[in-house]
Structure 1
């Protein structure tokens, strides 16, 4: 045999052996893969959208719905029920003043306790505040407001941290885009949360409308009706607090806070919180954060006291605010669904700002011409439009903070609460000294400045995102 042909034959046999081995290896791999897949349960597309973190989302939303159904309705009635030397507005001012100051240290408590335990601590203040309204005096309501300011600062930083952590964990678990998942989680939470205005205010409307009129104060209801209302509210809040106990600890591996992180001192926490003020994006968002606090103070205090009560009576405050809550809830849900990035956030926030600006202009024209007649339709329409704007600001500011500050979300939410609550506190303290027309002009001016800064942030963020997409 020719040596060359013998070598060719040997080479041919080796190639056939290699192909055979490769085929066997491939077959084994396919078989192994099939065995692995057969061993794991098949997941439908619907299953891939579910994770334990959605259960946490729904439990958190349900807990807040029950607690804030009581607190929200109580807050709406403060300026109308507790009129003795401005006790109602001043107690709200104390609340938000303490919330402002304590928000600087709130991330530290969240770090020490963990998001879940911080949530439970935060809820205790709301229970104490509603209980103080059973005997509303300067010695009960003001201290309860101060304590609520302290616990509320912890609650809202913990809520933002917990919700963002759950959204990111759900995104990693299901393979969904992180930005859209954060928007979806915020939309669902704020939609359920905003429903508290419907539940609590309808309950207040029912109980107060059926209460006896107080002959000493026309248009007001007697003590028995308010006592019954706050007792029902306390029971509702107790159930909501128990529900929060069933939350799981925040997702492990979250980028914000973790159980394995090194101890954090008060100085380092303050440094971390204040460091964000050096970020140009946060500075541009400050005016919008301030406006979010001013517009909430207006709808809770000025709108109910100076617009609704003179026109329809205090018993109808709950009915009008229920419309506000229904609008807020529906808009929050759809805003979360539509929020998929900076482009959609820009569109939604612009629409919400336009809705509230329309209400401000209408009320300003009415107050300027001294019209005292206000019908049901105009009040309900104003409440509906204001709810649209409130929903957009709550959901989209939360989403944009999660997008812009992914590695320091707790400090970002703390900054939001600092500026929002400071604005709310200032508005409550200024209520006895400013006319409705002046307040409307201030709101319109701050909204205009805030939208200008917000648009600059969205433009700069989208420009930075273009190279990454390419």
Structure 2
């Protein structure tokens, strides 16, 4: 019964995050477009969506180091509830478009983001065993990515036929997303405690993160791990996933909304988010829920597949969108006539490729660094958050083709780095297996000699 209750808790957690991130990811996707519409009505307002998102990820990267100790003191459920409150606060500040309020709310949600994700990882671990971790992670990932559908579908319908998002439309969207966020908070508040582990099932237990280390000790562990060769290589992959996250979660949708060559371009922003979600869910289901079957191929072919998907997407975006599209409404022409179907296909490729990278990163960190997973995931979230902040930082100054160039270079480096680490792990595993076989054979021969 304990296993059944644990799985119900995982589904409960997934439903809570689906609601909260239906609200936040939708807002992040349309944030630049909404703020640009506010500026058209009020020239004194100069709040920048890219700067806001950069602040969020910068603050989150710093707070990631302190979050594990905070979880030890408060527990994962309180941490996730606090995180959800900051997401609600951030969304509702768009009802009062003030620059100082926008950037203050961005700082606040950065603290909440670190806590909600650290709490999520802790709660998921407490409700999982070695036998169920892959399944539980896959179920959670798929449920989380469904958040891309509901909010973006609403935005697609609400923005249909609009060139500029007027105040009435913005207000309806913000209140709706706030309501969804409140529903998510209620679900988080109702999360039950993780069931106590049956000691008879110790063989299937994961190493629980209950060390109660302080911030300094946690930082020392992370720094020591970061300085190892494999983690330095993996950090290049983490950086790429952060840049990619920044691009498809904030920049790409804005590019579509600003490209005047598209008919109904504002509704295309929401539709793009839906197609990114389709790719994410498909990838999460394939490589998460079916992880036991895909694991026999190894992690490197899946990451290489993600690289190919993203490379194709970047090339098509390069052809399909004008260079100035990240900055604001533009009549500039792309290399080809901008095609809506190609833009949405690229959204799908971005989501599917992202799932390829992230599911395998979780797999390698959870499998190889299981005894030091808190430090490993802290490095991952820190590096990814810094890279996402950098992406949003240069998004306002670097044209589309320059951003695509940066993404392509980091994709190559990140993929090569991951493959190098995976091959090293395979060689070490093969060597250990050979040594075990030799020792076993020697033991058998010694036993035969004694019997003779």
**Root mean square deviation of aligned Cα:** 2.2
Deviations, residues 269-300 of structure 1 (Å, cap 9, x unaligned): 22122222123222111111111111111112
Q: Distance in 2 between matches of 1:251 and 1:461?
A: 34
Displacement after TM superposition at 1:392 (Å):
1.9
Displacement after TM superposition at 1:409 (Å):
1.9
Contact 1:256 1:410 in 2 (8 A): no
Deviations, residues 102-146 of structure 1 (Å, cap 9, x unaligned): 112111112222222222222221111111112121122111110
Deviations, residues 178-225 of structure 1 (Å, cap 9, x unaligned): xxx333222211111111111110011122327xx5xxxxx1121111
Q: Distance in 2 between matches of 1:357 and 1:229?
A: 34
Match of 2:277 among 325, 349, 353: 325
Structure 1: runs of 5 or more not aligned: 1-46, 214-218
What corresponds to 1:233 in structure 2? 177
User: Are residues 1:111 and 2:72 paired?
Assistant: yes
Structure 2: runs of 5 or more not aligned: 40-45, 198-205, 324-332, 438-452
Deviations, residues 433-470 of structure 1 (Å, cap 9, x unaligned): 11111110110100111111101111122223333585
Displacement after TM superposition at 1:160 (Å):
2.1
Match of 2:255 among 306, 310, 313: 306
What corresponds to 1:423 in structure 2? 387
Displacement after TM superposition at 1:320 (Å):
1.9
Contact 2:51 2:393 in 1 (8 A): yes
User: Are residues 1:455 and 2:426 paired?
Assistant: no
User: Are residues 1:221 and 2:170 paired?
Assistant: no
What corresponds to 2:404 in structure 1? 440
Match of 2:150 among 199, 212, 226: 199
Q: Which has the higher mean CA deviation after the structures are superposed, 59-68 or 84-93?
A: 84-93
Q: Distance in 1 between matches of 2:18 and 2:307?
A: 25
User: Are residues 1:208 and 2:163 paired?
Assistant: no
User: Are residues 1:382 and 2:317 paired?
Assistant: no
Contact 1:346 1:458 in 2 (8 A): yes
- Report SS of the residue matched to 2:60: helix
Q: Where in structure 2 are the equivalents of 1:255-270 lying within 5 Å?
A: 255-258=207-210, 261=211, 263-270=212-219
Q: How many residue pairs end up in the alignment?
A: 403
Contact 1:308 1:314 in 2 (8 A): yes
Q: Which has the higher mean CA deviation after the structures are superposed, 69-78 or 157-166?
A: 157-166
Displacement after TM superposition at 1:56 (Å):
1.3
User: Are residues 1:100 and 2:61 paired?
Assistant: yes
Q: Distance in 2 between matches of 1:375 and 1:108?
A: 49
Q: Given the superposition, is the C-alpha separation of residues 429 and 438 from structure 1 closer, same or farther in structure 2, using an over 3 Å criterion?
A: same
Q: Which has the higher mean CA deviation after the structures are superposed, 83-92 or 191-200?
A: 83-92
Choose 1 or 2 for highest CA Rg: 1
TM-score w.r.t. structure 2 length? 0.84
What corresponds to 2:237 in structure 1? 288
Q: Given the superposition, is the C-alpha separation of residues 137 and 86 from structure 1 closer, same or farther in structure 2, using an over 3 Å criterion?
A: closer
TM-score w.r.t. structure 1 length? 0.81
Contact 1:309 1:316 in 2 (8 A): no
